Amino acid sequence: MFTLDQARSFVAVAEELHFGRAAERLNMTQPPLSRQIQKLERIVGVELLERDNRSVTLTAAGEAFLLEARRLVIAAERAPENARLIASGQLGALRIGFTAATGFSMLGPFLEQIGTKLPNVHLELTELVTNEQITALIDGDLDIGLARPPFDENLFESVLLLSEGLFVAVPSGHRLESLQRDLQVSDLADEPLVMHSPTKARYFYDLVVRQIPIEHNNVRHTVSQILTMISLVAAGRGIAFVPESAKVLGVEGVSYLRLSGPIEHPVQLHAIWNRKSRNPALARLIQIIKASQPD
Amino acid sequence: MFTLDQARSFVAVAEELHFGRAAERLNMTQPPLSRQIQKLERIVGVELLERDNRSVTLTAAGEAFLLEARRLVIAAERAPENARLIASGQLGALRIGFTAATGFSMLGPFLEQIGTKLPNVHLELTELVTNEQITALIDGDLDIGLARPPFDENLFESVLLLSEGLFVAVPSGHRLESLQRDLQVSDLADEPLVMHSPTKARYFYDLVVRQIPIEHNNVRHTVSQILTMISLVAAGRGIAFVPESAKVLGVEGVSYLRLSGPIEHPVQLHAIWNRKSRNPALARLIQIIKASQPD
DNA sequence: CGTCATTACGGAATGCGTAATGATA
DNA sequence: TATCATTACGCATTCCGTAATGACG
């Protein structure tokens, strides 16, 4: 097989139609150039140039080969470009997992920021609950997740993106609404509840249970998605504990009441990624996240 | 710039994900392969493979570069193919000149034959009188012509393709037609003539003059193209000397009468080409012509 | 200890540049 | 004789293969 150098040499000679000038252009002397062309012709098995000692001409075969050689040289010169961009994280793909709740608050600005800073990185979005994100991250099916704690510190690194208040969603016109103040835990006794699934929405479940003594008799439904909860609240099936960002869901017939508690913003959202990930675009994204969240 | 060998090496390693097997596939030992990959990575400026001493994995950049490298290697392997085909005359283009008269007899079968034997050679056709063909052949604007003698033997080589009888074209119902036999030169005395141009259709002019004592007073028109002549004959402007193949023109109101002479088939058609031509497709065509016309 | 990639080293091949040769107008 | 491609030759570099080393389960 011939060499890219030979192809480049041939292109130069074919364009100059003069070994001397071509050699100059290639920063070499004529003799080695002459030999390279001869070698190329031997490899291709065809006379590419007609030298009649006064002028150099392309043969018909040479003309065809010139096109191929040029394409080849150009392709070779450009080949590393993408690889370099990908390695620097400026080009590539990021597979982002997010929970339904984040989809309505955090996700938009988050993607906006990535899109601005990494315009050539393709973003692939998947809605997954935290647990699903964890396994996807472990399996390498996801690059980064927007999820709730806790995470295994050995496997994952994370950054706190957002803390927000815990609210109580009630059907519009509910008696609690008329209190006209932040709710206390004691206000909620005996209220029928739409609760989080202790397995699929463990974070919220634990968060709520930690703050409020739940009467399990009051639990009417157990669901895993915020939107489902709120729909059930709207349908008058009970009240539910939701993050402040659930307000933007804009479901009709639901009011949101702040719940007082020991921590002002107990509901946390983290960006989380696998420490083993080798995706350069992720590394880049992490830099960006850390730079904009310096805590 | 990296080497095609390095690209090929990389493709092998990336596909095998194992230096040992890749080396085997490349018919070499591991150490040089390892070095080639390192060198490639240094040139590209990026880590393409992740070696963790138990397994080899592609990095994101390596994955992108693999695609480029594969394309490059394949393109390089195929590049000589067309050049070789062109050099052997099996691919390329032939610019063929022909006279109007040949267009109606010889040209069809001639092209048919080329098309069968050289299916991948593009045929470009131009209608030119012999003189124009000669200059086009000299200028390199034509590869081969179908023309009438004489040719400069120093510049051109030629092969006799066809000899045919000389006929007299007369308006239908002409008195000569009623003779019911081949015409003699003496039959034509005092007939008004549509004659060939001594410059543009020199071959026919000379041919006719050599055989028949032309009374220049009888010459009504001087034209260069057979079809024009016959149209004038049909219009009753006189009689004309034409090759037998003119019959197939099928002009209404014209009859063709054989003219006896010293030579039975005095009208010759040659394939003619420039000895200096370097078009391999022409060389191939000449072989074919000579093989089918062994004289 | 076995596997597999990498480094160390010696010898062969490749490839450059300078000098000489050859061919052509 | 001048120009330009090609061959001759010596030297530096590249690159292979064998052998040794290193990392990891």
B65 interfacial to chain A (CB closer than 8 Å): yes
| Banded model confidence at residue B86, pLDDT cuts 50, 70, 90 | very high
pLDDT tens track for A131-160: 999 999 999 999 999 999 999 998 999 999
pLDDT of the residue at A105: 79
Whether CB of B38 is under 7 Å from strand C: the answer is: yes
State how far residue A141 is from chain B, nearest Cα, in angstroms: 14
- CA nearest to B219, candidates B202, B205, B201, B234: B205
**In whole angstroms, what is the distance from residue B230 CA to residue B239 CA?**
8
If you search the block for the tokens 């590419």, which residue do you land on? A48
The strands making up A240-243's β-sheet, listed across from edge to edge, are A240-243, A166-171, A254-258
Chain C bases closer than 7 A to any CB of the protein = 4-8, 15-20, 22-25
Q: Whole-number Å distance, CA B193 to C1' C7?
A: 97
B120 interfacial to chain A (CB closer than 8 Å): no
Q: Whole-number Å distance, CA B29 to C1' D16?
A: 9
Picking from A65, A71, A88 by the largest number of B CB atoms within 10 A of its own CB, the best residue to mutate is A65
- Can you read off the two tokens belonging to residue B69? 């490298």
pLDDT of the residue at B211: 86
Beta-ladder partners of A95:
A124
Q: Please check the confidence at residue B214 and state whether its pLDDT lies above 90.
A: no
pLDDT of the residue at B215: 85
State how far residue B53 is from chain A, nearest Cα, in angstroms: 16
Whether CB of A36 is under 7 Å from strand C: the answer is: yes
Domain parsing of chain A, residue ranges? 4-87, 93-160+268-292, 166-264
pLDDT tens track for B35-52: 999 999 999 999 999 998
**In whole angstroms, what is the distance from residue B277 CA to residue B285 CA?**
12
Whether CB of A29 is under 7 Å from strand D: the answer is: no
Whether CB of B38 is under 7 Å from strand D: the answer is: no
Name the residue of chain A whose CA is nearest to B67's CA. A79
B2 interfacial to chain A (CB closer than 8 Å): yes
Give per-residue burial for B176-204: e unless 16+ CB within 10 Å, then b: beeeeeebeeebbeebebbbbeeebbbbb
Name the residue of chain A whose CA is nearest to B47's CA. A87
Task: Give φ, ψ of B97 to 5 degrees.
Answer: -105, 145
* Cβ contact A94:A281 at 8 Å: yes
Task: Give φ, ψ of A199 to 5 degrees.
Answer: -100, -55
- Can you read off the two tokens belonging to residue A7? 């192809």
pLDDT of the residue at A293: 74
B283 interfacial to chain A (CB closer than 8 Å): no
**In whole angstroms, what is the distance from residue B171 CA to residue B239 CA?**
7
**Equal fold, A4-87 vs A93-160+268-292:** no
Q: Is A180 strand, coil or helix?
A: coil
Q: Which fold has domain A4-87?
A: Arc Repressor Mutant, subunit A (1.10.10)
Chain D bases closer than 7 A to any CB of the protein = 4-8, 15-20, 22-25
pLDDT tens track for B54-71: 789 999 999 999 999 999
A72 interfacial to chain B (CB closer than 8 Å): yes
Picking from B4, B42, B55 by the largest number of A CB atoms within 10 A of its own CB, the best residue to mutate is B4
Q: Which 47-106 positions of A have CB less than 7 A from strand D?
A: 51, 53-54, 56
Q: Which residues contact A33 (CB under 8 A, 6 or more apart)?
A: A9, A12, A13, A19, A22, A23, A26
CB atoms within 10 A of CB A236: 13
| First-to-last C-alpha distance (Å) of chain A | 57
Angle between helices B60-87 and A4-16 (to 10 degrees): 50
Segment B270-293 mean pLDDT: 92
pLDDT of the residue at B228: 92
pLDDT of the residue at A180: 87
Segment B156-165 mean pLDDT: 93
**In whole angstroms, what is the distance from residue A245 CA to residue B287 CA?**
85
pLDDT of the residue at A294: 63
H or E stretch covering A241: strand A240-243
**In whole angstroms, what is the distance from residue B210 CA to residue B42 CA?**
82
**In whole angstroms, what is the distance from residue B18 CA to residue B78 CA?**
27
State how far residue A58 is from chain B, nearest Cα, in angstroms: 10
Cross-chain residue pair A83–B92, CB shorter than 8 Å: no
Q: In the predicted model, what is the mean pLDDT of chain B?
A: 93
Torsion of the alpha carbons at B251, B254, B257 and B262, rounded to the nearest 10: -60
- Can you read off the two tokens belonging to residue B27? 């018919």
| First-to-last C-alpha distance (Å) of chain B | 57
Q: Where are the alpha helices (DSSP H) in chain A?
A: 4-16, 19-25, 30-44, 60-87, 100-103, 107-117, 130-139, 202-211, 226-234, 280-292
CATH number of this structure's domain A93-160+268-292: 3.40.190.10
Does domain A166-264 bear CATH number 3.40.190.10?
yes
Enter the DSSP assignment of B263. Answer: S
Name the residue of chain B whose CA is nearest to A85's CA. B61
Residues of chain A with pLDDT under 50: none
pLDDT tens track for B102-128: 877 789 999 999 999 999 999 999 999
pLDDT tens track for B225-260: 888 999 999 999 999 999 998 888 888 999 999 999
A68 interfacial to chain B (CB closer than 8 Å): yes
Cross-chain residue pair B87–A47, CB shorter than 8 Å: yes
Name the residue of chain B whose CA is nearest to A78's CA. B68
Q: Is B14 strand, coil or helix?
A: helix
| Banded model confidence at residue B101, pLDDT cuts 50, 70, 90 | confident
pLDDT of the residue at B262: 86
Segment B82-90 mean pLDDT: 95
Q: Whole-number Å distance, CA B186 to C1' D11?
A: 89
Q: Which 91-120 positions of B have CB less than 7 A from strand D?
A: none
- CA nearest to A257, candidates A146, A168, A132, A142: A168
